[in-house]
Chain A
Amino acid sequence: MSVLALVAMLAVVGALTFLFRYAMIGLFAGRTLPRWLHSLCRHIAPASFAALAASELFVHAGEVVFALSAPKPWAALVAAVVAWRTGNVLATIAVGMAALYLLKAVL
C-alpha cells in the first residue's frame, strides 16, 4: 500500500472513530441507542479478536495451514491457558513469548 493510501485510510478511520464517540453526545444527543445496535456493539470486540488471532495463527498467504511443527499455534495455546487461568494480559504475553522462543529452539 502506498503511504498516501495509508494516510487516507487512517484519516478516514480516525474521523469515523471520532464520529462514533461524538454520536450520542452531540449528533444524536437526547436519543437512545437502538436495541439491535446495542446488542451488536457488545460482541464486536470478541468477534474481531477471535477472527484476527485465528487468521494470524493459521492463515499464510491466503491459505489455511495446520502444521504440527509450527511453533506459533502451540505458543498461543500455552498463552491461552495462562490467560484463562490468570486473566492477566501482561502474564499472557510474557508466557506466550517465552513459549515461542522455547518451541523455536526445540521444534
Chain B
Amino acid sequence: MGRRLDEFLAGCRDEAPLQLGVIPFGMLYGIGALAAGMPVWLAQLSSMLVFAGAAQLVIVQMLGAAAGALPIGLTAVLLNLRHMLYSASVAEHVRHLPRRWRVLLAYLLTDEAYAVAILRYARPAGEGPDLRHWYFLGCGLTLWGCWQLSTALGIAFGARIPPEWDIDFAVPLTFIALLTLLVKERAGQAAALVAALAALALAALPFRLGLVLAIVLGLLAGAAVARRREGRP
C-alpha cells in the first residue's frame, strides 16, 4: 500500500495550489445558483452531477436570464464537449486499468485535474508496476472535495448577500477574464468575435436559442480560419 499512498498523496499535494483559483469559482457558483432561483439541495447536487465549473456558471447565468431548459442544456453540453480532448489525451495512460478505475477517473476528469495529472504522466512511473493512476485519483478527489465544499460555502453566504450588490455580475467578468487568457491566436479570436456578434444579432430568438446558434457559428468561424491558416506555408 505504501507506494500507492505515496502517489495518491503526491497528487493531492500538487493539486492543492490550484484550489486558490477553484474555491472562488465554486463560491460564485453557489451564490449565483441561489440568486437564479435554484433550490439549495439542487445547487449542491448539480456540483456532483455536472462537476464542471464553467458549465455550471453558464447554467446559472442563463437560468437567471429566464432561458429555456433546451437552450441551457445545449449550451452546457456544447461547452463540456471539450472534455473529449482531455479524454483522448489521457487514454493511452489509463487504457490498461480495470473499468471501475476508468469510470472513476473519467468522472474526475476536469480542466484542473487534467492539467496536473498529465504532467505526472510525462514523468517516468518509477520502479515496479505503474501506479500513476493513484496520483491522478489524488488530483481528482482533491478538486472534487474543494468544489463541493466551496459550493456549500457559496450557498451558505449567498443567502445573506443582498441583490443590489450585483454579485452575479462576477460571472460575465469571469467569462471575460477566461476569454482573454484563452484567445491567443487568430482562429480563437475569430470564434469569439463571430460568436459575440451572432449572440447580439440572434438575441430575439425565443428561449435564448440564439446563444446556442451563436456558439455554433463561432465554432465554424474558428475552424474555417484555422483551416485557411494551415493551408499557408
Q: Footprint of A on B, CB under 8 Å?
A: 21, 24, 38-39, 42, 45-46, 49-52, 54-55, 58-59, 61-63, 65, 68-69, 72-73, 75-88, 90-91, 94-95, 99, 102-103, 105-107, 109, 166, 169-183, 187-189, 191-200, 203-204, 206, 208, 210-211, 214-215, 218-219, 222-223, 226-227
Contacts and interface: CB of A to CB of B under 8 A. Distances in A.
A36 B61 CA distance: 30
Interface of B is mostly: helix
Given A21-B107, A33-B88, 11 more contacts: A18-B107, A20-B87, A21-B106, A40-B219, A43-B187, A43-B223, A46-B195, A47-B192, A48-B54, A55-B65, A76-B173
A89 B169 contact: no
A17 B227 CA distance: 28
Contacts of B39: 3
A10 B203 contact: no
Interface of A is mostly: helix
Interface in A1-17: 1, 3, 5-14, 16-17
Contacts of A47: 191-192, 194-195, 214-215, 218-219, 222
Contacts of B227: 39
Size category, A interface: 35 or more
A40 B78 CA distance: 10
